[in-house]
Structure 1
Amino acid sequence: MQTQVNIGTLISSSPEIHGGCPIITGTGVTVRRIAADYKMGLSAEEIVKEIPHLTLAQVYAALAYYHANQVEIDSDLAFQQAEAERLEAEYKAF
């Protein structure tokens, strides 16, 4: 008999891990990472192939979290992108 999983337990956050960003429980993989891959056009199945220690259920839970909190996560992704571009420009200045 298969054990039922409470999907609410698949995503968690802790101030000690990635500054409190939501992660897939028991991993260091952030929902932000899954959302970024998804926004680049990868399917859930392709994300599992890219990060093979994740299950399809974990990826779908992260995608559900992303869609439920899309404005917040998209804002975080935009901030991360802007910060990366700023650092790249600063590095090129040297």
Structure 2
Amino acid sequence: MARRVIDEPSEEIVASAKKDRAERRGPFSRLATFVRQVVAELKKVVTPTRKELLNYTGVVLVFVIIMMAIVSLCDWVFGLGVVWAFGNGSGS
């Protein structure tokens, strides 16, 4: 079976054309393009439902509590190691 050859420009040609086009645009045109792109991206945002928001909040809180426990445990273990290695600081 014969392969279909598609006349598409190479990536280098496309990148060069975009660069040339960007250089010809003025600062206000580039600012307007940026604002249009931001608005287009914001239209894609989907706000979570109340149930999803509560679920996400619960997951974050559980993760933070677990991480606090791990850090506290490490701090306690390292504290014991320091006391064992250097003493408790009292005495002569």
The TM-score with structure 2 as length reference comes to 0.30
**Structure showing greater Rg:** 2
More helix by share: 2
Higher relative contact order (CA 8 A, sep 6+): 1
The TM-score with structure 1 as length reference comes to 0.30
